[in-house]
Chain A
Amino acid sequence: MLACQQSYMPINLYYDVAVRATGGGGKQIALVKFADMREDVDSVVFECNSTREVVGRARIPGQDAGAWVTNALAAELSQGGFRVATYSDAPGAGEPVVVTGELYEMYYEWHKPVTQYCCWWIALIGSAWETTRSWVKVQVTVEKGGIPIISSQYMGRASKSGSANRQDVELSLDKALQDLMKKLVPDVVAAAGL
């Protein structure tokens, strides 16, 4: 078990395709890179319990969290049979369906069970039930022919047993993004089919 005080731990953002999207049929979708609106774009806020006290930041040096979300959506839609074009600032002329968005929250929390408040040996036993919780929050807009079809906030959450080490943080964020995609991809597919 690593201590909460282990701050500025570097992590690697990755994503495993999780949604079995269908219905693409070669339709074209343009994705504009999600803008990362977070205050510190080089790290993920990392907390202990739910006391809202920053105990550290998992660093993501040289990585773009907005691109991470965009690439995940592109991978899901490509898997579903869509032809995906990605843009950095705005879609090219004549793109029929355009997805834009902003990433504005990315958190990782490490929850110790309530036994932490008991005597040391109960706390030690309780440490086996430590859990982690992470979430990713985005605002997504889908336009068709320039008309907004969907504009909604989406939040992906992941809760799992784990601690504060690198693998747990990476896996937890991966799961949170998968949860987000499970909500977002069906809506994008539905909007594209209209």
Chain B
Amino acid sequence: MRNHIYHLATTGVGLLLIASCATVRPHQASFSGQSTFSRNAPPLGLPVVVLGSGPRLADVASISMPSDVGAGGGKELKDVAELNRAVLLAERGIAAAHANDLLGASRSLDEAIAVMGGHVATAKDAQARALFFSTESRKTFRGEPHERAVMFIYRGLVYLADGDADNAQACFKSAALKDALATGKEDRADWLTADLLLYLTQCLAVDPNRQDWARNIESRYGAEGSLPDGWSKAHRNPVVVVVVAGRGPIKQSQMLAKGELMYLEVPTHADRLEVAGVRGSVICAPTDRPFVQAATRGKREMDKVLAGKAAVRKGFRTAGDVVNVVGGVVSAIPYVGLIGTAMTYAANAAKLASEGIHSDADTRSVGLVPAQFYVYVGDASELGGHPKLRIIDREDCVLAEGTIDLPRKPDRLSVVLARFSY
């Protein structure tokens, strides 16, 4: 009988073990996708638009882009959308520009800039808004300086395509000025893209005939030998080519340390741009890498606030632990035991309060900020009617290729925009 019970028990345990093993699932975190970039692979198509010329490629404005991240779960979605409005507008504006929708791009970018640039946070203001028991992301998104600079660069390009060189100039100047807000001089970054485009618009603005701008560039920049390839060759029919590649930096909060904002670089395959016209080709290096711009700007005022909050939280917990131990000892002493108990409760209240102190940095970001900017200015007559743009990687492989269909208006400035996402 005892043996019988023993066998039943062991069989039962065995069945249970088998059943538990059967519920263990194989992990679903291995990947078996195809690889596209290889030495002999044909290049991908590079979508190229001449802003304001040709059809609109997509109706970006009709798409709602939800973004409920960062504002916490307690907020109503409507409020969250309001807080994140600038993110949506900025992304919609950039997307519309790449879709050759000048009207949609200008509307969205103007609104985004109004929200992002309408209020400059001073140190005092930032501290006032950094409520102790609230996260940074519970405020209206205004973007970091590199994001605001990118907004202004895109807006300037749209103005330029509209033939409004003066407003374009103001936008490129604003893009450059976004760096003037860093507290330390050594943290102020320089946007070569903004500088080059600003210079171009300056040349355009001072010359009503818009014929001599290239000579102006030659005399001002070329004389110093600092003009990028291609610029000195532009004479009569200017073509501005702006190519963006990859994905911009990702924001991450150092939640586990001091809460401050840090940036992660998203790698891109692109290494250089080739512009091939009828009279040869020009290789362009990136003029800007937004990750570098973002990561070299030093601490924000808000980071100091977050570090302070993290320190207070840690202090509360440490003090709570110490008082807790002391209270425990005191509570064991006759006649003063109640004081010890009170100390223990106070210590635990302090630790409880520390849990409500959030020092997380705001990680909302404009997702369409690129990893690299390439800027080329050439002469339409030298480029021919259908010049090609090629994205090349470090191993000299052509990753993507696109053709520019230049309009047949020799006296008009053409703004070409292309995007390589990988």
Physical interaction between A and B = yes
Contact of A152 among B252, B355, B367 (CB under 8 A): B367
Residue of B whose beta carbon sits closest to that of A50: B355
Q: Tell yes or no: A29 within 8 A of B by CB.
A: no
The A interface is mostly helix, strand or loop, or mixed, namely mixed
Contact of B73 among A54, A65, A72, A157 (CB under 8 A): A157
Q: How far is the CA of A70 from the CA of B361 in the complex (A)?
A: 27
Q: Which residues of B contact A139 (CB under 8 A)?
A: 247, 250, 365, 367
Cβ of A13 and Cβ of B35 under 8 Å apart?
A: no
Q: Which one of B8-16, B53-61, B158-166 contacts A? A: B53-61
Cβ of B67 and Cβ of A153 under 8 Å apart?
A: yes
Cβ of A89 and Cβ of B31 under 8 Å apart?
A: no
Residues of B395-422 contacting chain A, CB below 8 A: 399, 419, 421-422
Contact of B351 among A86, A117, A153 (CB under 8 A): A117
Cβ of B47 and Cβ of A194 under 8 Å apart?
A: no
Q: Bits for A106-125, please: 1 = Cβ < 8 Å to B, else 0.
A: 00000000100110000000
A71-B35 in contact given A141-B247, A145-B58 (Cβ < 8 Å): no
Cβ of A147 and Cβ of B27 under 8 Å apart?
A: no
Residue of A whose beta carbon sits closest to that of B63: A149
A147-B95 in contact given A63-B29, A100-B421, A104-B250 (Cβ < 8 Å): yes
Q: How far is the CA of A64 from the CA of B29 in the complex (A)?
A: 5
Q: How far is the CA of A87 from the CA of B60 in the complex (A)?
A: 25
Q: Which residues of B contact A67 (CB under 8 A)?
A: 29-31
Q: Which one of B38-46, B106-114, B197-205, B221-229 contacts A? A: B38-46
Q: Tell yes or no: B281 within 8 A of A by CB.
A: no
Residue of A whose beta carbon sits closest to that of B88: A152
A64-B28 in contact given A144-B58, A151-B91 (Cβ < 8 Å): no
The 7 closest A-B pairs by CB, nearest first: A146-B47, A117-B348, A151-B367, A63-B29, A86-B33, A67-B31, A68-B29
| 7 pairs, A vs B, C-beta closer than 8 Å | A53-B256, A114-B352, A146-B421, A147-B47, A148-B421, A151-B91, A183-B68
Q: Which residues of B line the A interface, CB within 8 A? A: 24-37, 42, 44-47, 57-60, 62-63, 65-70, 73, 87, 91, 94-95, 98-99, 247, 250, 252, 255-256, 259, 264, 266-267, 269, 310, 313, 317, 348-349, 351-352, 354-355, 359-360, 363-365, 367-368, 399, 419, 421-422
